[in-house]
Structures are given as structure tokens and as C-alpha cells.
Amino acid sequence: MHFFGAQLFALYALTVLVFGCGAPLKSADEVAPIFDNAKSLSTKMLEICDLVSNNQAEPNFSNIQFDRNGCEAAGTQSQDLKPNTEIILAEVKTRKGNDLQVSRNGTQPAIASSATPATDSSNEIAVGTRLQIWLNRPLLKMVQVLVPALNKKTEAMANDGSTATTQQEQSKFKIKIIGKPQFDQENMSLKLELSVDSKRSDNSMFDISNRFVINGGLIKKKYIFATITTAAEADVKTSLIKRGKILLFVVPHAKDIYVDVVTDMTFHAFGVDAAMQEQILQFLRKALRMIPDFLEKAENL
């Protein structure tokens, strides 16, 4: 076959393949979304960041150490969700007074490298964490299993219009929705308030009792972004958590679902920071584990 014949054959083969695969001919404008789909994860996260950072009210990045750089680093320290996987925190920051320690790769930072005088009057300790996790399932499947689960959970609320309680068997967190959640259909946003209680005898060495406000919704009809903030500062007598904020990103990407959870919580300190830090991280791992656990459970309903 001479050169012209080869070109013809190639053109023929391409035409057959394109039509044979059922792909219709598309204009440049029509194929643009295909390339749009090839956005990187960090590009998607930056889309969320850029929109959210301009928000005057929640959900936004106020009162938390998180910015565009954080969005850009999405997925770089992620783990895959598998049954019984231990939650590895991608990043841990601890702050006591002006002393900030950061660690990555699941290790824990030492809050202080040397002993400090017993008269240290700082009575709070801030712990920031980041969890990056791939749920290992496409969103469509999640929707199929989550909708019945959500409906079941919310049925009682729809009936009495007020509250619903849930309790994770292992972690013994009692979560109660306060009042009526508000859904804004125009902006596809949701606001709800809930109380979280955990007694020391059930769960850990301390009591937790806080009210949290969740503000979130759909961003660009593609992504979910929510903030969870403490409604008020809690006294040490009622809760170890003094105040805090959590950012939750849910981004469908590469036929999987990427979940990024950034926490910045301030705890009452007891002058034994190394022990506190271990307890707090254990608590946060347990609390964060509830997110994938809920998704796992929903699939089995």
C-alpha cells in the first residue's frame, strides 16, 4: 500500500472506530466539558476555596487556619478507605500559647521539647488536624445507598418536625439535632444545629458536650462544602472542647469520592499536654471515623 493508501486507511479506521463506538460527532463547544472533566483535584478544590473565601457568613474560612495553599495540597497525603482501616491523620498541628508544632505522615508532634515550669498559666491547647480520604466508590453508588438511609433517618423528623437522635454503638457519641434544619433550595444550602455528647464513662477520659452549627451545601452543583462550628464556648465543667471549627469538602473525582476534613479545635488544658494530645488525637480519630463508618453502614442497610 502506498502512502496515500495508508492515510486513507487510517482515516477509514478512525471513522469506523468513532462511529462504531457510538460516539456522535461533536463541535468544539460540545467537547469542552470532556476536557473540563479532566480537571485536577486541586483545581476542583481551588474552585471551592475561591468561592468560599469570599463568603461573609458561614460557610467560610474564618476562625480556622486554612487557605488556598491547603486547597492546592488536596489528596497529596490521602489514604484509601477500607474496612477496619485505621484513620491516619494527614497533618497534626498543636498550638500551646505561641508554641506551634506541625507533623505529617501520621506521626505526632511533641508539644514541647523540654520541660516547662509548673507555673505555665496557659489553660488551653489547640489541635488542628487534616484527614484526606478516598471513599473508594463512585458517587452514583453512594447516592443509591445514601438516599434510603437519609430518608429513614429523617422520616422521624419529618413526622414530628423537630429532633432526631443517633448513637454510634462503638463510639458512644450521642448526637441530637436541635430544632428544624433549614434548607435553602435556591442556593442549595443547609443549616442545622446539633448537640454532641460523650460521657467519660462511655468513651474516654473526659466529658464532651457541645452544640455545633453546620452550614453547608452544593458548590457549583458539583461539590459539597460544609463548616461545622461550635455554637458557643464551653466551660471546662461541661466539655473538654472549648471551641472549634471543622471544614468538610466532598469532591467527586476520578470515579471516586474525595473527602477532606480539616479541624481546628481548642481544648481546655490540664497541664499534661503530651497526655492530653494523645487523648485528643484518639478522640478526633474516633470522631472522624464516624464519617466513613456512617457511609459504610448506609451501604449495608
49-78 residues in contact with another protein (CB under 8 A) are: 74-78
Q: How many binding residues for another protein (CB under 8 A)?
A: 93
Binding to another protein by residue 202, rule CB under 8 A? yes
What does each C-alpha distance from 164 to 142, 153, 175, 176 come to in angstroms?
A: 22, 8, 8, 6
Binding to another protein by residue 167, rule CB under 8 A? no
Among 21, 25, 28, 140, binds another protein (CB under 8 A): 140
For residue 9, the minimal CB distance to another protein (Å) is 27
251 Cβ contact list (under 8 Å, min separation 6): 41, 44, 45, 48, 74, 222, 223, 257, 258, 259, 260
Interacting positions 25-44 with another protein (CB under 8 A): 33-42
Pick the piece of the chain touching another protein (CB under 8 A) from 15-23, 135-143, 225-233, 291-299. 135-143
CA-based nearest residue to 131, from 291, 278, 261, 281:
261
Q: Residues 92, 262: contact at Cβ < 8 Å?
A: no
Binding to another protein by residue 296, rule CB under 8 A? no
Q: Residues 102, 91: contact at Cβ < 8 Å?
A: yes
Binding to another protein by residue 115, rule CB under 8 A? yes
For residue 147, the minimal CB distance to another protein (Å) is 4
CA-based nearest residue to 213, from 241, 237, 232, 187:
232
Interacting positions 261-290 with another protein (CB under 8 A): 268-276, 278-279
Comparing CB distances to another protein, the nearer of 65 and 181 is 181
CB atoms within 10 A of CB 243: 19
For residue 163, the minimal CB distance to another protein (Å) is 11
Binding to another protein by residue 109, rule CB under 8 A? no
Per the listing, cell 480539616 goes with: 262
User: Could you tell me whether strands 79-80 and 124-134 are parallel, antiparallel, or unpaired per DSSP bridges?
Assistant: parallel
Among 25, 161, 169, 300, binds another protein (CB under 8 A): 161
Binding to another protein by residue 100, rule CB under 8 A? no
Binding to another protein by residue 7, rule CB under 8 A? no
**Which cell numbers in the block locate residue 91?**
497533618
CB atoms within 10 A of CB 83: 6
**Which cell numbers in the block locate residue 232?**
458557643
Among 62, 123, 166, 167, binds another protein (CB under 8 A): 123
From residue 219 to residue 258, the character string flagging contacts with another protein as x (rule: CB under 8 A) and all else as - is --xx-------------xxxxx-----------xxxxx--
Among 27, 54, 98, 114, binds another protein (CB under 8 A): 114
